[in-house]
Amino acid sequence: MKRTTEEDSNYNHLEKMSVAEILQGINEEDKS
């Protein structure tokens, strides 16, 4: 699977994160 972006991002290690961590990150973005 080709990554949509090659640059570093907050989701660079998304595959290593748990679902809870992913949801927390999304919620934090919504607050900003």
Helix H or strand E segment including 21? helix 19-31
- For the cut 80, the answer to whether the pLDDT of residue 30 exceeds it is yes
This prediction's pTM: 0.35
Which residue is associated with the tokens 């949509």? Answer: 4
Bigger pLDDT: 17 or 32? 32
